[in-house]
Amino acid sequence: MIASVINAILIFMGSALGMVFKSRIKEEYSKAIVTGLGLCVLIIGIMSAIGTDNMLCVIICMVVGIIIGEALRIEDRLDNLGDRLKKRMMKDRDGGRFNEGFMGATLIFCVGSMAVMGSMEAGINQNYSIILSKSVIDCVTAITLAAALGVGVLFSGFAVLFYQGLLTLLAMWVGPVLPEAAVTEMSAVGGLLIIALAVNMLGLAGERKLRVGNMLPAVFLPIAYIPLVNWISGLFS
């Protein structure tokens, strides 16, 4: 848990710095930074996605995960959460980009191989090196994101604390029996979500942005898929 707390604190610090220097960054520079960051996010997503050892698992988990996410309307619920936070905390003109900053930063910081693998390592082996390295990267990312998108980025730190802390606690309980293949495919599916986020950041999807929030359940489905397929294969072997 301590590593996740440090991660959240560095996101808070980076977001604060970004908002302080926001007025000194021209709009065209902010747009350029977001575009450049989108390209970096795209590369991170590709690197995670190509790490898969079971493409069929990725495909099935994505399809089923999207169906679950659409049925639960996760994207709408996250947007509503952002709206409520905005109404309570924001009174100025920057509130218009609160949802974009909150959602975008949360997905960047929470969905990916470093968040999954780092939390697993912290929970199973008490190895915090991955999360601490991620924390430094997140801090730098938060500076640029907060400068461009505002205070919504800061609130993503709470999502990181909850998400990574929960994964760490779960890893302490189920990690020793969780197949290594499941962790690998979780990272690969997470990479696809990062790619989808990058597509939105770069404006490649046009006016109709990809509903990345509704894809979130797919990240966790390999935990069920890998043992299920192994069990079925064992019946016919």
Rg of the chain over Cα atoms, rounded to whole angstroms, equals 18
Tell me: pLDDT of 95 over 70.
no
Residue 27 has a CB neighbour count (10 Å cut-off) of 8
Distance CA 153, CA 155 (A): 5
Distance CA 92, CA 179 (A): 48
The residue written with tokens 């709470």 in the block is 158
List pLDDT tens digits, range 139-155.
888 888 888 788 888 99
Question: Does the residue 24 lie in any domain?
Answer: yes
Question: Does the residue 96 lie in any domain?
Answer: yes
DSSP output for 77-90: HHHHHHHHHHHHH-
Question: Does the residue 89 lie in any domain?
Answer: yes
The range of the structural domain enclosing residue 202 comes to: 2-232
Question: Does the residue 75 lie in any domain?
Answer: yes
Query: What per-residue confidence (pLDDT) applies to 50?
Result: 92
List pLDDT tens digits, range 99-110.
778 877 887 788
Mean model confidence pLDDT for the chain: 83
Question: Does the residue 237 lie in any domain?
Answer: no
- Among residues of the chain, what percentage have pLDDT more than 90? 21
Q: What token pair was written down for 78?
A: 């996250």
Question: Does the residue 193 lie in any domain?
Answer: yes
Q: What token pair was written down for 204?
A: 């490649």
Task: Please answer whether residues 148 and 20 qualify as being in contact, where contact means their C-beta atoms are separated by less than 8 angstroms.
Answer: no
Question: Does the residue 22 lie in any domain?
Answer: yes
If one compares 2 and 66, the residue with the highest pLDDT of the two is 66
Distance CA 30, CA 53 (A): 38
List pLDDT tens digits, range 190-213.
889 888 878 887 888 777 788 888
DSSP output for 32-53: HHHHHHHHHHHHHHHHHHTT-S
Q: What is the number of domains present in the chain?
A: 1
Nearest to 165 by CA among 129, 118, 212: 118
